[in-house]
Amino acid sequence: MNILILSALSIILAFLPPSLAEVNKAYQDERNKILQEEEKLRLGYDVILQGDEEKADQIFLRLKQKELQDGFENVEKNLPGMHYYKAKPLLDESKVYQLIRKMPKGALLNVHPPGAVTSKWILNNILNKDNLRKCTNENGVQLLTFRKKFDGCKSESVQVSKGEAKEDWFNLYTPTPEVTFKSSEAAFNQLCDMFDRIDDALNYLPMLKDHYRQFLEELYADKVLYTEVRVKFSEPYDDTSKKYSLDDVVKEIENVVNDFKKTHPDFIGLKIIFAILRHGKEDEIRKNFDLYKNLRSKFPNTIIGLDFVGWEDKGLALQPFADDFTSATRDGSKLFLHAGETNQLGSTDQNLVDALLLNTTRIGHGYALAKHPYLMRDVKEKDIAVELCPVSNQVNSFVEDLRNHPGAILMSENVPVVLGNDSPGFMDFDGLNPDYYYAIMSLTPYQAGLKTLKRLVENTIKYAQLNSQEKTQAETLLKAKWNEFIKEILKEGE
């Protein structure tokens, strides 16, 4: 009888619903599994931290999470949710930002030299020169030149009077970006005017050399050990009647870099991406491809490839020049195409399609890539790095809150990403520090720490156009500098 009763009870219990505790455990197990699977997809998941790195990561995460929590509780302290120009005066108070400043940045792979040097240096070293002149072009934009007669002028050129020049001629900073830059058009108009304004002044040979030297000094201070720069070539000039060529531009840049390396032996170098401006008549633009081929044949170790730059929404698309790009790369040189630097969907963003069809090596900005899942998958499979410039995108009014930047989607899918700063001088950036700060604080999850930062930094060397000897040197230097950075973090935990 007892056996029958026990059997009956067993059958009844088997059909009873599970207890609340069992339900909760099953739910939590499934929830944790989902979170773990998501985590495995993210950029940096497979980075292995060892020894002191693990301790440093705990310290870094404690600082990061406290800063995020403080921001949740007090909106006035929520730097990761602020526009950079709003946060800029407050960033010195951020312990995370101060650590980012000490972090080695590897390589800078998306930068335009005319807009890369601080406006203060431009004011003190260019705008205050006695022989600087000004005029206006056909669009009413003020141009600066050291020539007495400049073909770009549509008005008579006159000397810039003492005290007339202002730092804000080359600085977009405003404490009220929501008022100054109500659209990307408003921001780009000012930015493009700055490039036009300084262009011929930087073609003046003494300025070209001084400007590149200062660019390297600022890079080095930002803990960057190598760079690839977009250069829009023009023939230089000086105070004589001597005729210079584009070859002379390359030679002068090479000389500046070689001199810099003599006093900074842990700087790897600089290479040039020939930049063709996407504005103008197609026939005139096509002439640049022949100029590129000529320069590339003479300086194959310095001129590494080709790009199509400028305000993408207002400029010409890649598609009409597909044959030209294909022809230009038959010598083995590569493309580093700006594409998808737009909020548009179904028009300008289609440059991404052409960039991939043209076998671009990297994509400049790629802001619109997250809207194209097929292209995003293709980029990942082909291991094409996207040069993200999140703070530049914010200044150019593509996104107000960087927590909404599409780079967060790319990083969550482990799309190859490197960080650039585009035009850090004109945009009043503190080197690459703002981009790395917002990347780790705004574009990544609460739990993302040194694994993510290490992958971002290592990617800059991985996707740089370095030969085997240069890459070995860069990796060795970066490893040593990263270990020094880890020691700096450990000091925060003492």
Cite the active site residues.
341, 365
Q: Rounded to an integer, what distance in angstroms lies between the CA atom of residue 202 and that of residue 465?
A: 26
- 490 near 56, Cβ under 8 Å? yes
Structure-token match 């999140």, residue found? 390
111, β-bridge pairs: 422
**Tokens representing 202?**
């930087």
Residue 134: enclosing H or E segment and its boundaries? strand 133-136
Indicate the SS3 state at residue 261. Answer: helix
Whether residue 219 contacts residue 227, with contact meaning beta carbons closer than 8 Å, is answered with yes
User: 255-288 b/e with 16+ CB inside 10 Å = b?
Assistant: ebbeebeeeeeebbbbbbbbbbbbeeeeeebeeb
Closest residue by Cα to residue 386 from 372, 400, 402:
372
**How far is 492 from 494, CA to CA, in rounded Å?**
6
Which of 181, 190, 296 lies closest to 246, judged by CA? 296
Phi/psi at 344 (5° precision): -70, 155
Q: How far apart are CA 334 and CA 273, in angstroms?
A: 9
